[in-house]
C-alpha cells in the first residue's frame, strides 16, 4: 500500500482549536472522566479542569465562567470558590504542573509550551 498523503493529526487538531477560539473564545476538550479548557490564558486567566461531570455540564460551566472572567466579574487567580453564579459553589484548587502534563495535551499543543496555569474546579454535593 502506497502512502500518498500524510495528515498530521496534531496539526489538524490544533486547527480545530484555533477555529473554536476564533468563534467562541474558548475551546473545551472532553476526555474520559474529565474536561478542560484551552484559551483561558488568552484572557489572562488560568485554564480549568473538571472531573466526573458530563460534557454538557462542563461545556455550560466553562462557558459561564469564561464569560464572567471576560466581563471582569470574576478574577480566578483571586478566589477559592465561585459564588453568586452556581449552587453549590464550585471550589477552585491549584492543579500541579505534574498533573497538568498528564491531562492538558491539547492546551500544550495550542500554547506551544507548558507555560500556563490550571485550576481544578470541584463540585461538592452534600
Looking at the DSSP bridge assignments, the partners of residue 119 are 48, 94
Q: Are 25 and 42 in contact (CB under 8 A)?
A: yes
**Cell for 9?**
493529526
What does the pLDDT look like over 33-79, one tens digit per residue? 999 999 999 999 999 999 999 999 999 999 999 999 999 888 887 77
Q: What was the pLDDT predicted at 60?
A: 94
**97 phi/psi in degrees, rounded to 5:** -60, -35
What does the pLDDT look like over 68-100, one tens digit per residue? 999 988 888 777 777 777 777 888 999 999 999
What letter does residue 34 receive in the DSSP assignment?
E
Query: What is the band of 102 on the pLDDT scale with cuts at 50, 70, 90?
Result: very high
Q: What was the pLDDT predicted at 74?
A: 85
More confident: 73 or 3: 73
Q: What was the pLDDT predicted at 2?
A: 67
Q: What was the pLDDT predicted at 12?
A: 79
Amino acid at each position: 500500500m502506497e502512502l500518498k498523503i500524510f495528515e498530521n493529526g496534531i496539526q489538524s487538531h490544533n486547527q480545530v482549536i484555533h477555529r473554536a477560539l476564533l468563534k467562541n473564545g474558548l475551546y473545551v476538550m472532553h476526555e474520559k472522566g474529565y474536561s478542560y479548557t484551552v484559551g483561558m490564558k488568552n484572557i489572562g486567566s488560568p485554564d480549568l479542569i473538571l472531573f466526573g461531570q458530563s460534557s454538557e455540564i462542563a461545556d455550560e460551566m466553562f462557558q459561564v465562567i469564561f464569560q464572567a472572567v471576560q466581563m471582569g466579574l470574576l478574577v480566578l487567580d483571586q478566589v477559592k470558590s465561585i459564588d453568586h453564579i452556581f449552587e453549590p459553589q464550585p471550589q477552585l484548587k491549584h492543579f500541579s504542573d505534574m498533573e497538568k502534563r498528564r491531562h492538558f495535551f491539547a492546551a500544550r499543543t495550542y500554547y506551544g509550551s507548558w507555560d500556563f496555569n490550571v485550576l481544578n474546579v470541584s463540585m461538592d454535593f452534600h
